[in-house]
Amino acid sequence: MGLHHGKSAPGMTFDRAFLETWRTILTSRTLLSTMLLAVVLYAFYYPAPYSHETPRKLPVVVVDQDDSALSRAMILDLDATRAISVAEVVANLADAQADMRKGKADGVILISDGLERQLRSGTPGSGIAVWVNATYLLRASTIGETVTAVIQNTAKTHLLPGGQISRGGPPVAVVTEPLFNRTGGYKGYVFPSVAVIIIQQTLLFGAATFMGGRRRTGLWRMRAAEFGGTLAAFSSVGILGCYFLFGLIFWVQAVPMDGNVVGMMIVVPIFATAVAALGLLVGSVFDRSERAIYMLGPTSVPFFFLTGATYPLDQMPYFVAAFARLIPSTSGVHTFVPLNQMGATLGDVAVPLLTMVALAVVYSLLAYIRIVGSSPRSTLTSAP
């Protein structure tokens, strides 16, 4: 009996299935490159466009109607900032707007006539106007903040005689500082969250490719021991990947870390199990191995945004946030980022951690039912 069940021959123990799965992973070019080499590649490929951390040298056009010593000093100060590069100084607004339409500048800064006079004497009627292309939100806010900072500074240093700074300056200093990711850099923000997505997607692709391949041959059902060994093997791939990224690569990439290393090491196997089980489950409905990347590849970008790393979960409609929580990466980001970057204790991340445990249990059970349980033969043979 059970001939057409092929690999689920009675001799397949947990240990043998574990080793056999690892052997398959290491000898299959597709699995090896999808699950192991891809993680190594992404560890360097993904942080590269964020390595400069902040927006730099965004081109702006300045319209200098005032043409005074003050306005010229202001333009020099603007150009001296990290964020802005003054591409051109023109005399009228139409020229500047034309430059923006040609795509030469991200913003236009107008220093209107009479600014210096207004500042010295208080006569109203002048000011500074900034137009920014807000379709790129980050560029817009960067330019806006920089201009405000430069102008406040110019006003303080160029105009007010020494004795008046304290009386004329703002009465309260407002200090804004980022916690954890202390420089407010983009690599330290994006990469820790993306790392979770990288592990999840590569492991999902791998496990689903494996199961899809077995579906194609028809020999995809397993006994309980074989299923356990296979799941453990894929989970161990995920565990290795997580330790590699969280342990070594964050350090190599100089991502800010305030690590709860023990907590992270405890949680990683739970995350890896949830993802591996989901991968086996999803793969078991595919018709062939290639279907894994075909169907799951395009989910990577939406899954990243569903984690709430950029646009928080509480801002999404309830059903979207609920759906997002079914994806392991969502609780993954909200567990691993606090543990790795924010020095959180396991108690601090209790809610996402419990969600992750629930996902690991439910997906393992569903995968078990799908791959082992529904096989009539396995229920027969498991009877004493």
Identified binder of other proteins from the candidate list 69, 262, 320, 369, rule CB under 8 A: 320
Distance CA(363)–CA(366), nearest Å, equals: 5
Is 201 or 375 the residue whose CB approaches other proteins more closely? 201
- Which tokens belong to 116? 């210096």
Smallest gap from residue 125 Cβ to other proteins (A): 10
Distance CA(341)–CA(260), nearest Å, equals: 8
Q: What is the number of alpha carbons within 13 Å of residue 135 lying toward its C-beta?
A: 2
Distance CA(114)–CA(125), nearest Å, equals: 8
- Which tokens belong to 150? 């430069």
Residues in contact with other proteins, total (CB under 8 A)? 123
Could you tell me which stretch among 97-105, 232-240, 242-250, 362-370 binds other proteins (CB under 8 A)?
Answer: 97-105
Q: Alpha-carbon Rg of the chain, whole angstroms?
A: 29
249: three-class secondary structure by DSSP: helix
Rama region for 328: left / alpha / beta (φ>0; ψ in -120 to 50; rest)? alpha
Could you tell me which stretch among 1-9, 16-24, 100-108, 263-271 binds other proteins (CB under 8 A)?
Answer: 100-108
Could you tell me which stretch among 2-10, 128-136, 263-271, 273-281 binds other proteins (CB under 8 A)?
Answer: 128-136
Smallest gap from residue 133 Cβ to other proteins (A): 5
* Sites for other proteins among residues 325-384 (CB under 8 A): 334, 337-338, 341-344, 348-349, 351-352
Distance CA(358)–CA(347), nearest Å, equals: 16
User: Does residue 251 bind other proteins (CB under 8 A)?
Assistant: no
Q: For residues 344 and 186, is the Cβ–Cβ distance under 8 A? A: no
Site string for other proteins, 15-34 (x = CB under 8 A): --------------xx--xx
Identified binder of other proteins from the candidate list 175, 376, 383, 384, rule CB under 8 A: 175
* Sites for other proteins among residues 187-246 (CB under 8 A): 188-190, 192, 194, 201, 205, 209
Is 228 or 263 the residue whose CB approaches other proteins more closely? 263
